Amino acid sequence: MPIKSSTQSQVRQYNVSNAVASARIEGIIPTKQLEKNLADYVSGEKSIAQLLEETKQRHVTLRRG
């Protein structure tokens, strides 16, 4: 049975909150771009696979430029 959209969003928010908290404990401060990407993930607008691909493309472009 598929998870309802609101429940899935809540699970995503919980997971994102834990990941960001762990990063902050390690002294890593999320960028505005990361915050936007995570909000897009929580809302279901983007998948983790999409975010990873966009990140890879952005960093490959920076190395070539």
What pLDDT is stored for residue 60 in this prediction? 81
0.95 exceeded by pTM: no
Distance, CA of 2 to CA of 37 (rounded, Å) = 24
Closest CA to 34 of 53, 17, 55, 56: 55
| CB distance 44 to 8 below 8 Å | yes
| CB distance 20 to 38 below 8 Å | yes
Residues in the chain: 65
Total structural domains within the chain: 1
Amino acid identity of 3?
Answer: I
Residue 38 has pLDDT above 70, yes or no: yes
Q: Domain range spanning residue 28?
A: 5-64
CATH number at residue 16: 1.10.8
What pLDDT is stored for residue 59 in this prediction? 83
